[in-house]
């Protein structure tokens, strides 16, 4: 597979390309990528700007027809796209299939919600949701299809044109989406793809004078640097960033359900997701019993050997890390935690002997709130487990973090649960559910350093992607 910039409806010629390999199997080449330079980035923004006047005047019904064809194509090509995600990202085959299904759920919601129209009547007045113009979509590697769909579908339906800048580790998936959009009949220049991994190309995108909005999903550090670069420019900015998500397991909790949720939240996607679980606070009365149940859950996790290597990979429950830097970082987090006094429980059944970027799931227990792993983002197959005595202590520990994305509590005490819902500093909260649980109609709300601007996803995407105009009318006498 060859990937280059897609500008004004055409793939640019590949003159020089770099190979990209599967993180689960470094011998498997996924794609040859021709990385964009600043000139191509500028050309993509110019193309989107040129296409905007015609696209915004296109009747909403016609835009919906094109996007409906695109969604139908994703559905029809779901197995092929899932295979690309599996190979490119290191997810298990099952996780890749679930990502495609989740993406379709997001797309269908946005199509149905925005089909209701961008004009609201209020007596003799109208409230119009009008497109902004050129939108830059910056997507991460951990959900290379979901985040593209989540941003691009509503952006285009609202009448904007866009430039898509995917993560270097999500290029092949984004290219597959781009080709399907082209085949669905999307006019030239309405959506452009820029495979950029160099600072000058990315700077050209962010600094372009026609830019009207950026929707970013990625690390907090990068998100804050983009915000600083925008400065006082009139560019709308939406950022869904990192998390250090916590789950509280109370003494009256269903421990089996809580252990299953903790393992799912902490180790799916190899721990590399914003709403995954980093910290477990367990009531001291059930700490040992719960830890035993969690240990059994983790011991049952089955490593994905890599694309095409194991016919039983369909039963694998955890894939690889996505980059060598992630593997080094995971090892460093564990070593640092042990050095600070934590005890590492590592299930190693052939993980270290694998050739890909695999790391066994790790439970860090006997963790104290003073340790780095108790309040910093992990984004790795690691769960830090702490004891708590009462609700005051648990709330204090949960809120002692610069992040505020997702939270969950397992308890049968509804009054206690509601107290946590009121006092926890997080934007996506759960009672007796996994930290990752969400529905496509509601936004991903990051508090503190987990988010900025109007939250992404759900019904708030229309608010981010449009500006309001009120029209008052009086019939002539």
Three-class secondary structure assignment of the chain: CEECCEECCEECCCCCCEEEECCCCCCCEEEEECCCCHHHHHHHHHHHHHHHHHHHHCCHHHHHHHHHHHHHHHHHCHHHHHHHHHHHHCCCHHHHHHHHHHHHHHHHHHHHHHHCCCEEEECCEEEEEEECCEEEEEECCCCCCHHHHHHHHHHHHCCCEEEEEECHHHHHHHHHHHHHHHHCCCCCCCEEECCCCCHHHHHHHHHCCCEEEEEEECCHHHHHHHHHHHCCCCCEEEEECCCCEEEEECCCCCHHHHHHHHHHHHHHHHHCCCCCEEEEEEECCCHHHHHHHHHHHHHCCCECCCCCCCCCHHHCCECCCCCHHHHHHHHHHHHHHHHCCCEEEECCCCCCCCCCCCCCCEEEECCCCCCHHHCCCCCCCEEEEEEECCHHHHHHHHHCCCEECEEEEECCCHHHHHHHHHHCCCCEEEECCCCCCCCCCCCECCEECCEECCCECCCHHHHHHEEEEEEECCCCC
Q: What is the pLDDT of residue 256?
A: 98
Cβ–Cβ under 8 Å, residues 226 and 237: yes
C-alpha to C-alpha distance for 109 and 438, rounded to whole angstroms: 13
C-alpha to C-alpha distance for 45 and 47, rounded to whole angstroms: 5
C-alpha to C-alpha distance for 151 and 462, rounded to whole angstroms: 10
User: Hey, CA dihedral for 252, 255, 258, 259, is it positive or negative?
Assistant: positive
With left for phi above 0 and alpha for psi between -120 and 50, is residue 307 left, alpha or beta?
A: beta
Predicted TM-score (pTM) of the model is 0.96
Name the token pair of 14: 């590949």
Query: Residue 237: which residues within 8 A CB-CB, separation 6 or more?
Result: 213, 214, 216, 226, 227, 230, 452, 453
The CATH class, in words, for 245-431 is: alpha beta
What does DSSP say about strands 236-240 and 451-452: parallel, antiparallel, or unpaired?
Answer: antiparallel
C-alpha to C-alpha distance for 402 and 400, rounded to whole angstroms: 7
C-alpha distances in angstroms, 152 versus 4, 127, 160, 408? 19, 24, 9, 30
Domain spans in the chain, listed from the N-terminal domain onward: 2-241+450-472, 245-431
Q: Which of 270, 274, 304, 388 is catalytic?
A: 274
User: Consecutive sets of 10 residues in the chain, 477 residues long: mean pLDDT of each?
Assistant: 95 92 91 96 98 97 98 98 96 95 98 94 93 98 97 98 97 98 98 93 96 97 96 96 97 98 96 97 98 95 73 74 94 97 83 80 97 96 98 98 98 98 98 97 97 96 98 88
Cβ–Cβ under 8 Å, residues 134 and 212: yes
Find residue 395's DSSP bridge partners: none
Please identify which residue in the block is written with the tokens 């193309």. 47
Q: What is the pLDDT of residue 352?
A: 65
Name the token pair of 109: 């919601």
Maximum pairwise Cα distance, the chain: 84
Cβ–Cβ under 8 Å, residues 177 and 148: yes
Q: For residue 274, indicate whether it is catalytic.
A: yes
CA 55 to chain centre: 28
Q: What is the pLDDT of residue 123?
A: 86
pLDDT tens per residue across span 435-463: 999 999 999 999 999 999 999 999 999 99
Do you know the residue count of the chain? Answer: 477
- Which superfamily is assigned to 2-241+450-472 in CATH? Aldehyde Dehydrogenase; Chain A, domain 1 (3.40.605.10)
Closest by CA position to 49, among listed 239, 197, 190: 190
């Amino acid at each position: 597979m060859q990937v280059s910039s897609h500008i004004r409806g055409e793939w640019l010629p590949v003159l020089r390309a770099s190979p990209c390999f599967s993180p689960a199997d470094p011998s498997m080449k996924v794609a040859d990528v021709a990385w964009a330079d600043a000139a191509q980035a500028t050309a993509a923004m110019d193309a989107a700007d040129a296409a905007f006047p015609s696209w915004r005047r296109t009747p909403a019904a016609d835009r919906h027809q094109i996007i409906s064809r695109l969604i139908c194509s994703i559905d029809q090509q779901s197995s092929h796209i899932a295979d690309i995600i599996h190979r490119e990202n290191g997810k298990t085959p099952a996780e890749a299939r679930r990502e495609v299904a989740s993406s379709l759920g997001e797309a269908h919601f946005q199509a149905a919600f925005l089909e209701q129209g961008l004009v609201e009547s209020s007596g003799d007045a109208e409230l119009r949701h009008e497109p902004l113009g050129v939108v830059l979509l910056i997507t991460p590697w951990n959900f290379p299809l979901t985040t593209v769909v989540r941003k691009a579908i509503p952006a285009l339906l609202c009448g904007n044109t866009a430039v898509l800048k995917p993560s270097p580790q999500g290029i092949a998936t984004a290219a597959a989406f781009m080709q399907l959009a082209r085949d669905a009949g999307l006019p030239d220049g309405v959506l452009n793809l820029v495979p950029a991994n160099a600072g000058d190309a990315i700077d050209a995108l962010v600094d372009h004078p026609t830019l009207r909005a950026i929707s970013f999903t990625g690390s907090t550090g990068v998100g804050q640097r983009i915000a600083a670069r925008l400065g006082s420019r009139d560019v709308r900015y939406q950022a869904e960033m990192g998390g250090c998500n916590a789950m509280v397991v109370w003494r009256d909790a269903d421990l089996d359900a809580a252990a299953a949720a903790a393992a799912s939240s902490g180790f799916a996607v190899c721990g590399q997701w914003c709403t995954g679980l980093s910290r477990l606070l367990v009531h001291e009365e059930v700490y040992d019993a719960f830890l035993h149940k969690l240990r059994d859950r983790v011991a049952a996790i089955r490593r994905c050997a890599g694309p095409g290597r194991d016919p039983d990979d369909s039963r694998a429950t955890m894939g690889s890390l996505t980059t060598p830097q992630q593997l080094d970082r995971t090892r460093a987090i564990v070593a640092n935690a042990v050095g600070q006094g934590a005890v590492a429980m590592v299930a190693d059944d052939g993980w270290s002997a694998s050739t890909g970027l695999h790391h066994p799931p790790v439970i860090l227990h006997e963790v104290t709130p003073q340790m780095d792993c108790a309040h910093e983002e992990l984004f790795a197959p690691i769960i830090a487990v702490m004891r708590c005595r009462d609700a005051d202590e648990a709330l204090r520990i949960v809120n002692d973090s610069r992040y505020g994305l997702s939270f969950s509590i397992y308890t049968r005490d509804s009054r206690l649960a509601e107290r946590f819902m009121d006092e926890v500093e997080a934007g996506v909260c759960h009672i007796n559910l996994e930290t990752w649980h969400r529905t496509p109609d509601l936004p991903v709300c990051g508090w503190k350093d987990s988010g900025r601007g109007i939250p992404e996803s759900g019904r708030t995407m229309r608010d981010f992607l449009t500006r309001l105009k009120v029209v008052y009318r009086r019939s002539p006498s």
